[in-house]
A and B are shown apart, each in its own frame.
Chain A
Amino acid sequence: MISIIINGKKIRTKEGKTILEVARENKIEIPALCNHPDLKPGASCRVCVVGIKGSKKLVTSCTTKVYPGMEVVTNSSKINKTRKINLELLFSQHREECSDCVWDSNCELLKLAKKYKVEINRFKDRKENYPVYQFGNAIQFDSSKCIDCRNCVEICHNQGVDFLEIKERGHLFQVVPSKKKNRDCIYCGQCLTHCPAGAFESVGEFEDIEKPLKEKDKIVVFQFAPSIRSSIGEEFNLPYGKIVTGQIVAALRILGVDKVFDTCVGADFTTTSEAEEVVERIKKNKNLPILTSCCPAWVKFVEQNFPEFIPNLSTTRSPQTILGGVIKTYWAQKEKIDPKKIFVVSIMPCIAKKFEIARPQLKVLGMNSVDYVLTTREFARLLKRHSIDFGKLKPVKPDRIFGEPSGAGVIYGVSGGVMESAFRTAYEKLTGNKVNNFKFKEIRGMKGVKDAEVKIGCECRKIAVINGLGNAKKFLQEIKTGKREGYTCIEVMACPGGCIGGGGQPMPTNDEIRSKRASSLYSIDEKKKIRKAHENPIVKKVYKELFSKNKKIAQEVLHTSYNKKNKGLVKKI
């Protein structure tokens, strides 16, 4: 422990921390824009400057580490003036479009503008004519809003993608999408959640969110992903990790949608099918390690960067697409509805899910299995537009038939959840023994790569759970070079912490917030009577009544295929 002084107040702290960290721990406010706990400090915005005794210049609190006896001043007329000027300079490159901004009422730039009495329009916007780029059908980057902090470039690099680059154009460096043939966006949306200026948004983030409600001549069926039940509350000022499953359903009822189902039930189908695959591949010793495939950003990453691993991807479809398929086959038949009249909408924590539903390999009977995807943020925005007071809603249950998932289906939203679910099912199928200890500690938590060994009968099998694509990239490279070997199953989620840290989730996001969202999902699982996917009655029923009788439909609803990907659409708007 060391002592430092901030604003005349003595503070005991640990060496190795930055001034910003110590200040925040002690509730001393220092403004910081480009700083993000997921990233190494870039120290580019220069808004977090403070004074330290003995230094001629101001220093950035995000990079300067504390030392014994350090005397820090976070507030003086010089400090405030330079912050104000730097903010004005930042605004001079940021074209404001506050009414349509992913930061909504939570914009740090605007908050600081008010606090430091910033003249937002002191200088003319220099980026007025900068273009908007669109990546696939998923993400838009409005470079006229970019404040050049380069967080997006950094996170894109950390994701192992390197699609966003810095290029010099007419003496000014700017962020641009790569023109290289082998570099493409995988639509994870981490650029969006790490951009302090709202320069990224999903396609249709503002313009198209009412679309699902306008399908008047169709039966509109909503499903919602596991992870959003512990995240969407944040959009309505509820505490981090607050479980609001029933409120999501209640809100959808108010919007007047015809049916509300739970994607966790889809996850139960995915687990059951994937566990079968695992069992079969182990028996045949073929295409191991099996790689999970419910994360579309990860699947695209494999298809474009590691096509040699395509045979390893599980052919089982993701929860939303399986549930969509089951709705348009089993349910339509049961309800005697023409499946073409059903419009399936998914609320997802993810932007890549927009890309996923457009994959031609995911059709069912020639139809899209899912017709529309709203991200968590978009859905929240839709509710706000309809003046729905989310926090005050009385919880309502989803429609019963696909409304009651197992605990396994709920933890799909967390890194490690898919593996844990699959293990609960596959273990029983392989050994005939029951799983009784549900908590699979080694593969829980926010660590990027989690290694574990499981004993199946007398055999020990290596498994790994990875979150963050940069980690996955390194892992695959190590498999290729032989540095890692002998794995049976590998779960990969593109986003930090899994879907709870997805690109479609509320902002801000960081490890602490993600951990809270995660532990809520685990707590739901703990309270469930049925915690294994294959024991879910509806799963058993659909298998019995449809899949075991009609193998062709089973194949079409449950499985998909992959192919080497060339670069997708990158256009200037």
Chain B
Amino acid sequence: MGGDIIKELKKYNLLGRSGSGFPTALKWELVKKAKGEKKYIICNCSEGEPKNFKDKFILENYPEIIIEGIKTALNFIDNSSAFIYLKKDYYTKFYKKLKKLSKGLPIEIVKKKGGYLGGEETVICQSLEGKRIEPRAKPPFPVESGLWNCPTLVNNAETFYCVGKIAKGEYQRTRFYTISGDVKREGIYELPEKYTIREILKETKNYPDFEFFLQSGGGAIGEILLPEELDKQVQGIGCIVVFDSQTNPFDLMKEWSQFFLAENCDKCTPCREGIYRINEMLNDKKIDEESLKDIFLTLKETSLCPLGANAYKPFETLIKKIIR
């Protein structure tokens, strides 16, 4: 493929599958152009969002395509070597297989440190350098200065899967969807990326025949959608969680706030203290709307990393659409 890979990535308008949707071709070019004698490639298989298992599914079924994708990146970026960064249980499960598949390639397979946040790109750099598990301030972005201050390409496992498929000429413009919650056929499905949420649910015979709402994007960070809002694509990491409308919204919010409380790094004020106060209000069953609104605003506007900046979304949309 050589230099043509950028053209191909652009042709398919491949967007990163980590949730942020950054154009893959652009990221690759930035790393290639960045100054640095040594460069690094990181395949991020650290999915930590609840109710999301697509990386695992791909590792289980198509590891050779992931390796093909990493190989393509290694060929494209001069003087590079790669890391496959695996969530602890994935490391145990897939280490041998990946080791075998990457034989002869400069690929190191490493175990993730930390929880959910351990999957954020600058946190991965911190972890690989043996430093404290917390995000770095951006800029500089990893493409310029990442692992050991070298230009670093961090892509999600699914992104490398797509690149591998593209490199082999087999890419069908699909993506992976994790469907869970109050559905009959929970699972991971590979379907066209163009599909709307409604189409996905119908195609997989999961469209509820009862009153419901759902969470789209991620199992914690995703926004809440009503049945009339499903004619759009899934955001983020492709998670759809269906909830029977009888579900207690407060229990659901408690679940989220406990997740964020446990998984955030406590570095910045809005996320550390804001999440703490949301959790406290839910536990005490004393919701102060004004405070909640204020915390959402400061999370959104002033958080250090995407975890904090998006954490307000499920709460805000649930309150707006379901509670009243």
Among candidates B132, B262, B294, residue contacting A85 with C-beta atoms closer than 8 Å:
B294
- Asked if A122 is at the interface of the complex by the 8 Å CB criterion, the answer is yes
- Asked if B307 is at the interface of the complex by the 8 Å CB criterion, the answer is no
Decide: A86 and B298 in contact? CB cutoff 8 A: yes
Decide: A86 and B302 in contact? CB cutoff 8 A: yes
Which segment of A39-47, A253-261, A403-411, A485-493 sits at the interface?
A39-47
Among candidates B132, B270, B301, B302, residue contacting A166 with C-beta atoms closer than 8 Å:
B132
B144 to chain A, nearest CB (A): 12
Among candidates B266, B267, B291, residue contacting A122 with C-beta atoms closer than 8 Å:
B291
How many chain A residues touch B (Cβ–Cβ < 8 Å)?
A: 34
Q: How far is the CA of A43 from the CA of B269 in the complex (A)?
A: 10
Q: What does the 1/0 interface line of A505-518 toward B look like (CB < 8 Å)?
A: 00000000000000
Q: How far is the CA of A568 from the CA of B302 in the complex (A)?
A: 41
Q: What does the 1/0 interface line of A43-57 toward B look like (CB < 8 Å)?
A: 111110100000001
Q: How far is the CA of A132 from the CA of B30 in the complex (A)?
A: 49
Decide: B301 and A89 in contact? CB cutoff 8 A: no
- Asked if B265 is at the interface of the complex by the 8 Å CB criterion, the answer is yes
Contacts of A13 in B (CB 8 A): none
Among candidates A43, A57, A172, residue contacting B268 with C-beta atoms closer than 8 Å:
A43
Q: Which residue of B lies closest to A64 (CB)?
A: B139
- Asked if B137 is at the interface of the complex by the 8 Å CB criterion, the answer is yes
Q: How far is the CA of A57 from the CA of B276 in the complex (A)?
A: 22
Q: How far is the CA of A41 from the CA of B272 in the complex (A)?
A: 18
Q: What does the 1/0 interface line of B284-299 toward A look like (CB < 8 Å)?
A: 0000000100110110
Are A85 and B265 also in contact (CB < 8 A) when A41-B137, A43-B304, A126-B276 are? no
Q: Which residue of A lies closest to B265 (CB)?
A: A173
Contacts of B272 in A (CB 8 A): 148, 172-173
Decide: A82 and B273 in contact? CB cutoff 8 A: no
Contacts of A45 in B (CB 8 A): 268-269
Contacts of B276 in A (CB 8 A): 126, 172
Contacts of A90 in B (CB 8 A): 269, 273
Q: How far is the CA of A45 from the CA of B276 in the complex (A)?
A: 15
Q: Which residue of B lies closest to A89 (CB)?
A: B273
The A-contacting residues of B in range 93-134, CB under 8 angstroms, are: 132
Are A123 and B297 also in contact (CB < 8 A) when A44-B269, A46-B269, A58-B302 are? no
Determine which residue in B269, B300, B303, B309 has the highest number of CB atoms from chain A within 10 A of its CB, and name it.
Answer: B269
Q: Which residue of B lies closest to A48 (CB)?
A: B302
Q: How far is the CA of A53 from the CA of B54 in the complex (A)?
A: 37
The A-contacting residues of B in range 206-226, CB under 8 angstroms, are: none
The B-contacting residues of A in range 85-138, CB under 8 angstroms, are: 85-86, 88-90, 92-93, 122-123, 126
Contacts of B143 in A (CB 8 A): none
Decide: A43 and B137 in contact? CB cutoff 8 A: yes
Q: How far is the CA of A85 from the CA of B269 in the complex (A)?
A: 10
Q: How far is the CA of A63 from the CA of B291 in the complex (A)?
A: 28
Total A-B contacts with CB atoms under 8 angstroms apart = 87
- Asked if A81 is at the interface of the complex by the 8 Å CB criterion, the answer is yes
Contacts of B273 in A (CB 8 A): 89-90, 92-93, 123
Decide: A123 and B301 in contact? CB cutoff 8 A: no
Decide: B266 and A82 in contact? CB cutoff 8 A: no
- Asked if B277 is at the interface of the complex by the 8 Å CB criterion, the answer is yes
B219 to chain A, nearest CB (A): 19
Q: Which residue of B lies closest to A79 (CB)?
A: B301
The B-contacting residues of A in range 141-194, CB under 8 angstroms, are: 147-148, 150, 166, 171-173
- Asked if B69 is at the interface of the complex by the 8 Å CB criterion, the answer is no
Q: How far is the CA of A122 from the CA of B273 in the complex (A)?
A: 13
Among candidates B265, B266, B274, residue contacting A89 with C-beta atoms closer than 8 Å:
B274
Decide: A148 and B270 in contact? CB cutoff 8 A: no
Among candidates B137, B266, B277, B297, residue contacting A92 with C-beta atoms closer than 8 Å:
B277
Q: How far is the CA of A41 from the CA of B137 in the complex (A)?
A: 9
Decide: A173 and B266 in contact? CB cutoff 8 A: yes
Decide: A46 and B137 in contact? CB cutoff 8 A: no
Q: How far is the CA of A46 from the CA of B137 in the complex (A)?
A: 12
Contacts of A148 in B (CB 8 A): 266-267, 269, 272
Q: How far is the CA of A173 from the CA of B262 in the complex (A)?
A: 10
Q: How far is the CA of A392 from the CA of B290 in the complex (A)?
A: 51
Contacts of B265 in A (CB 8 A): 173
Q: How far is the CA of A60 from the CA of B268 in the complex (A)?
A: 11
The A-contacting residues of B in range 253-270, CB under 8 angstroms, are: 261-262, 265-270
Contacts of B274 in A (CB 8 A): 89
Q: How far is the CA of A269 from the CA of B276 in the complex (A)?
A: 57
B54 to chain A, nearest CB (A): 27
- Asked if A462 is at the interface of the complex by the 8 Å CB criterion, the answer is no
Q: What does the 1/0 interface line of A382-416 toward B look like (CB < 8 Å)?
A: 00000000000000000000000000000000000
Contacts of A14 in B (CB 8 A): none
Decide: A85 and B298 in contact? CB cutoff 8 A: yes
Q: Which residue of A lies closest to B290 (CB)?
A: A122
Are A82 and B137 also in contact (CB < 8 A) when A46-B302, A126-B276 are? no
Contacts of B304 in A (CB 8 A): 43-44, 46, 60
Q: Which residue of B lies closest to A81 (CB)?
A: B297
- Asked if A65 is at the interface of the complex by the 8 Å CB criterion, the answer is yes
Q: Which residue of B lies closest to A174 (CB)?
A: B266
Are A85 and B295 also in contact (CB < 8 A) when A44-B268, A148-B272 are? yes
Contacts of A58 in B (CB 8 A): 301-302
B133 to chain A, nearest CB (A): 10
Contacts of B301 in A (CB 8 A): 49, 57-58, 78, 82
Q: How far is the CA of A90 from the CA of B302 in the complex (A)?
A: 14
Decide: B270 and A86 in contact? CB cutoff 8 A: yes
Q: How far is the CA of A92 from the CA of B278 in the complex (A)?
A: 13
Decide: A49 and B266 in contact? CB cutoff 8 A: no
Determine which residue in B261, B297, B298, B309 has the highest number of CB atoms from chain A within 10 A of its CB, and name it.
Answer: B298
Contacts of A44 in B (CB 8 A): 267-269, 304
Q: How far is the CA of A85 from the CA of B293 in the complex (A)?
A: 10
A447 to chain B, nearest CB (A): 24
The B-contacting residues of A in range 16-75, CB under 8 angstroms, are: 41-47, 49, 57-58, 60, 63-65
Decide: A46 and B266 in contact? CB cutoff 8 A: no
B255 to chain A, nearest CB (A): 14
Decide: B297 and A85 in contact? CB cutoff 8 A: yes
Contacts of A49 in B (CB 8 A): 301-302
Contacts of A86 in B (CB 8 A): 269-270, 298, 302
Decide: A171 and B261 in contact? CB cutoff 8 A: yes
Contacts of A122 in B (CB 8 A): 291
Q: Which residue of A lies closest to B276 (CB)?
A: A126
Q: How far is the CA of A501 from the CA of B287 in the complex (A)?
A: 48
Contacts of B298 in A (CB 8 A): 46, 82, 85-86, 89
The 4 closest A-B pairs by CB, nearest first: A89-B273, A173-B266, A46-B302, A63-B137
List 9 A-B residue pairs with CB atoms under 8 Å apart, sorted by A's residue number: A42-B267, A44-B268, A46-B298, A60-B137, A89-B269, A147-B269, A148-B272, A172-B266, A173-B266
Binding site for B on A (CB under 8 A): 41-47, 49, 57-58, 60, 63-65, 78, 81-82, 85-86, 88-90, 92-93, 122-123, 126, 147-148, 150, 166, 171-173
Add 9 more A-B contacts to A63-B137, A93-B273, A173-B266 (CB < 8 A).
A46-B302, A46-B304, A58-B302, A78-B301, A82-B298, A86-B302, A88-B294, A89-B298, A90-B269
